[in-house]
Structure 1
Amino acid sequence: MQTNNRILAIDFARGLSVVLMILVHTMLVYGDAATRNESVLGQVVHILGQGAPMFLVSMGISFVFSRKQSFRGSLKRGGIILLAGYTMNILKFIVPTLFFGGLPVPFVEAYGMTYGDPSNMVFFLLLGDILQLAGLTLILMAFIVRFSKSKYVPLVLALLIVMVSSELRGYRPGIVGLDYICDLLWGATYQVYFPMFPWSAFILIGLFFGMWFREKGSDQAFLFKSMLVVGLGLLTVGVLMCLYDFTYHFGDYYHLGPGGSLGLMGLNLVALWAVNLLTTHVKTNRAFKFLYYCSRNVTSLYITQWVLINWGMSVFGFWGHQGVVVLSLMLLFLLLSLSLVYLKNNYRTLLMSQKNPESLSKST
């Protein structure tokens, strides 16, 4: 099923991934150690929280059908997303520091910093998140598509990035500025959560499938069957590599080795195949429409939820809550994020309805 060049399974997956990320981020910021690491809620949220890779693969596929796929348009989009990432950092960290009495002491110390040190502001301003990864990878994809029409270029590049990530991880030449760029590329610390090596590989594998899909005349059955076959292969190889040497091949979630990257990539390709089964065989309903709405507003929702969650530390503290309270906060931040994005998208209509309610009723 395809509407207006959109693949509903991709929209579903992208919308679901941003909703799951809101739940995960709330847990990470507000849950105490026992809730995060030992409770059933914590385990379920951590499993569901593997939504970021699905979002990245979906992003790569969607790039092929973007209306702004021109070289200049792609570069502009990448730059805008990069700017959005650093603007989000200002809203998340700098605004609370200046206007809300500062970030909680345990939060700052969790990053290994001394509370009150002025250099903390620079650290948080430059913190690398999924938006920095997306912006930089969009720029990379602009060059790939500009100079090659072969679907195998992003595939080979993705596999190369996966294989060399652990070898490059943490390398810095010791030059101010250049060190930060290296951190964005293959950093080993938590100033950059999603370094391009290996995470850009997830977007590039999506680009490969998107180009293959277009090459096959937009055959969705072929696309998702191919995802299943390739995904199972990658998952098997990745699991075997991790069993051989878990420390090297997995490391930690944010700094995956080759086996962990391939396994997680394969798992998410299989998940996308399963999502397509769902959207193909289940009639569109309110839940589906809700996720499609979230997909259309994914960037706004992502920025809004992070800003609200960080600002909420001024009210609810950091790392101090258990099950029922954490669940309540998840629902609160989900509803607040959706409400603010809705108001942003519809404020002109709502404003007009306040000024002239009769005209609004006539239009409906």
Structure 2
Amino acid sequence: MEHKSKRIAALDLIKGMSVIGMIIIHTLLIYANVKSQSETVVGSFIVFLGRGTSIFLICMGITFMTSSHQSLKSSIKRGGVLLLAAFFMNFMKFIVPAILGFAPDNFIQKYGWHGPIEQQYMYLVMLGDILQLAGISLLLVGFIREYVKNKYAILAIGLLVALVSREVSGTLIDYPVINYITDLFFSNDYPAYIYFPVFPWMSFIIIGMFFGKWFLELNHDSKTLFRNMFYVGLVFVAIGAPLVFGFDAYNYNGFYHMGPGGVIYFAGWTLIFLWIIFRITAKMKDNKFTSLLKYCSRNLTSMYMIQWILISWGKGIFGYRQHSIGSVLLLIVLYMVLTFSVQKLLDLLKKKKPVIVVDQPISVE
């Protein structure tokens, strides 16, 4: 039976959907004007979808535990590759357009830069995206997988990361290089802006690891696993909701820098959503659409990088945050086509010239 497979088919489809979703979300965030993002139904819905980062991270944690690559060395190697990929992506996204002179003025002015251009370039290269989070997390969670064998102990570590996140936020050791590392972990906006600091975002990955371990203990019964996700999700929402809505300054304080209540609340809804998606995808038969999603899942890391680079380069052609929702929808179609075209081109180049590839480092499979 399919649900006894060691590979969770629903996760492949969910990760594939995330590739499609991120192209839609990032195109809107870069090209739509403020009114289109906040005052239209379509724009508001897409911005809402952008809050789905926790879905991807929990899936990452599950696949990390069920992957065939189980060694600590493998986890550290993949984490290092991801960090290199993150800085390469930032270089391609920001520095190439700046050097070649097709970065729009209003994008440059957004940061209110003063001082030497080299300092501005360094700022952009060091911007912390989800790739940096995934890379650093892999360097750390490999030790959890190696040495912590009890699933509830894994869950406790994940919740502990969330519980201390507000207390350690802004921790700074004001010393060159070290200050950037503390930024990636604790996000104090010095010297770079980190969208996804390790505290609290690694919590979602470790919560995913808890369910990955549970899946193995259930002898790969995905139906039971997702039902358990639903029940745990209800408990998390019940605990997180009063914290978020009653003490929001400490427990939420914005999407990117959540406190413990925010993490538990978002994790709860994420687990419920994953159960819903599992119920829907369980009835799906293999067809061209599911094959497309599986293709996206297999190439998640490279497609993530491709779409961000293309969308960033396009600012020089289409402008930055200047378009109505109708124009943005056309641009979404354009970037879908471009992203898949570049990925297919890379596939052809790989076939012609054998290269060493770390397969799917972001989904750690």
Query: What TM-score, normalized by structure 2, do the two folds share?
Result: 0.91
Shift in Å at residue 75 of structure 1?
A: 0.8
What is the CA-CA distance between 1:180 and the residue it aligns to? 0.8
1:235 touches 1:264 (CA, 8 Å); kept in 2? yes
1:18-97 aligned at under 5 Å gives the runs 18-97=19-98
Instruction: Tell me which moved more, 310-319 or 257-266.
Output: 257-266
**Structure 1: where are the runs of 5+ without partners?**
352-364
> CA contact under 8 A between 1:129 and 1:193: conserved in structure 2?
yes
Checking the alignment, whether the CA contact within 8 Å between 1:15 and 1:293 is kept in structure 2 is: yes
1:281 aligns with 2:295: no
Is this contact kept in 2: 1:185–1:195, CA < 8 A?
yes
Residue from 260, 264, 272 that aligns with 2:266: 264
**RMSD after superposition:** 1.8
Is 1:176 aligned with 2:194? no
> Is residue 3–residue 220 contact of structure 2 (8 Å, CA) maintained in 1?
no
Give the residue type in structure 2 aligned to 1:53: S
In the TM superposition, what are the counterparts of 1:1-364 in structure 2 within 5 Å? 1-2=2-3, 5-99=6-100, 101-114=101-114, 117-189=117-189, 191-347=193-349
Q: CA deviation at 1:95?
A: 1.1
Equivalent AA in structure 2 for residue 311 of structure 1: W
User: d(CA) in 2 for partners of 1:85 and 1:95?
Assistant: 15
Higher RCO (CA 8 Å, separation ≥ 6 residues): 2
CA 1:328/1:350 → structure 2, altered by over 3 Å: closer, same or farther? Answer: farther
Deviates more, 1:115-124 or 1:153-162: 115-124
CA contact (8 A) 1:61 1:207 kept: yes
* Aligned 8 A contact 1:24 1:46 in 2: yes
Residue identity matched to 1:20 = G
**What whole-Å deviation, never above 9, does each CA across 1:213-238 have from its counterpart, x for those lacking one?**
10121111221011000111112221
Alpha-carbon distance in structure 2 between the residues aligned to 1:30 and 1:188: 28
C-alpha distance in structure 2 between counterparts of 1:304 and 1:105, whole Å? 23
Looking at structure 2, the residues matched to 139 and 121 of structure 1 have their Cα atoms a distance apart, in angstroms, of 27
Q: Which runs of 4+ in 1 moved over 4 A?
A: 348-351
Structure 1 residue 110: Cα displacement: 2.3
Shift of 1:154: 2.4
Cα deviation for residue 349 of structure 1 reads 5.6
Unmatched tracts of structure 2, length 5 or more = 354-365
Deviates more, 1:38-47 or 1:3-12: 3-12
Give the 3 Å change call, closer, same or farther, for CA 137–349 of structure 1 in structure 2: closer
TM-score (norm 1): 0.92
AA of the residue aligned to 1:35: S
Tell me the CA shift for residue 67 of structure 1. 2.3
Q: What secondary structure does 1:281 align onto?
A: coil
